[in-house]
Structure 1
């Protein structure tokens, strides 16, 4: 295995750990890792990232569901609001120029990093349970997933806590359901877009995806042994560094 593939597999493991432990955040690392380590274009990286996110989140979702930490009805309603935006975003992404996609990835990575480094909300205080608030949050997350190929879990977890009113552990498990649905819809939209097929070297992507899926199991166990705040801050700092590299690359 080449050095690039070995690094990609390592990055995939980080993605899986973050998704399994925190319900999101790690998928934002997938796109820049696929671009800079495997040489994919931003469009191809977004498509590959969606498949990786789908497999990883589904794997982690199974583990959280066995622990009874998934609110299925809440997750389904939240995900339903994002189905159309995710589909439209998936179609739009194939028509955007690479520099714009790269800038979008970098901005989302910064937002994710800031949210992960900051202290997470401790509980469901000042919760807004109105249907428009829930639908708006779900739609926004679906659009982010569709356009940029990221899972959006770093936004889904706080939304499920602050908007829906879930506690942190069920929010993490339920977030994985939302992420998986949005990723699947965005992938189907890309596959169905006439003339917009993106060539992806799946032989190179496979080690990344495999490492991410396997690490998702360990991520769930890691969440029971390491404080969530510590995990969030570590992954947040990694994301911040990744965003800085992408912005510097655009500037040069």
Structure 2
């Protein structure tokens, strides 16, 4: 019956994270290590294997609804993909405690930015140097994917919100960017042959089913309410994830 447990977990995570612009690899990574006892290297590979197909399905669903902002998404991909390759090559040489601090500070800082944008700054025009900012967020995401097997959704969704996108197009554009970074990261992790196929396949099937539902669900949500509640939620969640990594 464990296959049913993995299927349900995959569905719920796929539905949740695709609705908020993530890839879910960080959640799968946490579950696989802390709940199911997989070794970190195996969990990292399995989490990317699980997340990638659902990201493809979710991105296609968002494309059909016309919510993806390809210009800013491509600006992020230009730095995210090379950073993923560099991160994957450097991963064996980075001490885990140093990497943990770096990622934690990045996540917490991005969360603060999202909250400032939501509660302090007025709705403004697109920020200056938008291309440079998008490139930086893409690079941060790529490093997270390459080094730790995360899908890198934190910096991407936070960056898109800081750059002025509303929650729905930000979630859609994030899923598009994460398809590219997760594919590159997955190829590197596949070469190590570390995937737990029995766990990964059932999680992946559930995640794909959740991803199929996410874009349709978002189309029936009031965009104003989605922005009002989810932007601060994403900011707090990013800060919590950063702090949680340190304690």
- TM-score bracket, shorter-length normalisation: 0.7 to 0.9
Q: Could you tell me which of 37, 52, 60 is aligned with 2:35?
A: 37
Matched residue of 1:182: which SS?
helix
**Cα offset, 1:111, TM superposition:** 3.8
> Contact (CA 8 Å) 2:91, 2:146: kept in 1 or not?
yes
Give the Å deviation of 1:199.
Answer: 2.4
Partner of 1:64: 62
Secondary structure class of the residue paired with 2:206: helix
Shift of 1:66: 0.5
Q: Of the candidates 189, 195, 201, which is equivalent to residue 200 of structure 1?
A: 195
Counterparts of 1:211 and 1:105 in 2: how far apart (Å)? 32
| Correspondence 1:55-134 to 2 at 5 A | 55-94=53-92, 103=100, 107=104, 111=108, 121=118, 123-125=123-125, 127-134=127-134
Higher deviation after alignment, 104-113 or 212-221: 104-113
TM score, norm. by length of structure 2:
0.77
Aligned to 1:140: 140
Q: Is the 8 A contact 1:50 1:150 kept in 2?
A: yes
Where 1:70 maps in the other structure, the secondary structure is coil
RMSD of equivalent CA atoms? 3.6
Pick which of 45-54 and 120-129 moved more: 120-129
Q: Structure 2 unaligned segments of length 5 or more: list them.
A: none
Q: Which residue of 2 aligns with 1:183?
A: 182
Q: Does the C-alpha gap of structure 1 residues 198 and 148 become closer, same or farther in structure 2, counting only changes over 3 Å?
A: same
CA–CA distance in structure 1, aligned partners of residues 145 and 50 of structure 2: 13
Which has the larger displacement, 68-77 or 106-115?
106-115
Per the TM alignment, residue 82 of structure 1 is displaced from its structure 2 partner at its CA by: 1.0
The separation in 2 between residues aligned to 1:172 and 1:134, in whole angstroms, is 15
Say whether the 8 Å CA contact 2:76–2:177 is kept in structure 1: yes
Take 1:111 and 1:25, find their aligned partners in 2: how far apart are those partners? 18
Q: CA deviation at 1:171?
A: 2.0
Gaps of 5+ in 1: none
1:214 maps to what in 2? Answer: 209
Q: Secondary structure at the match of 1:172?
A: helix
CA contact (8 A) 2:91 2:147 kept: yes
> Is the alpha carbon distance of 1:97 and 1:129 closer, same or farther for their aligned partners in structure 2, counting shifts above 3 Å?
closer
SS in structure 1 at match of 2:129: coil
Paired with 1:203 and 1:144, the residues of 2 have a C-alpha distance of 25
Tell me the distance in 1 between the aligned counterparts of 2:165 and 2:62.
15
> Size of the alignment, in residue pairs?
239
Cα drift, residue 85 of structure 1 = 0.9
Following TM superposition, by how much is the alpha carbon of 1:149 offset from its aligned partner in structure 2, in angstroms? 1.7
Q: Which moved more, 1:167-176 or 1:64-73?
A: 167-176
Task: Return the alpha-carbon distance in structure 2 between the equivalents of residues 59 and 97 of structure 1.
Answer: 35
Q: Is the 8 A contact 2:87 2:143 kept in 1?
A: yes
Confirm whether residue 174 of structure 1 aligns to residue 169 of structure 2.
Answer: no
Q: TM-score, normalised by structure 1?
A: 0.76
> Secondary structure at 2:22's aligned position in 1?
coil
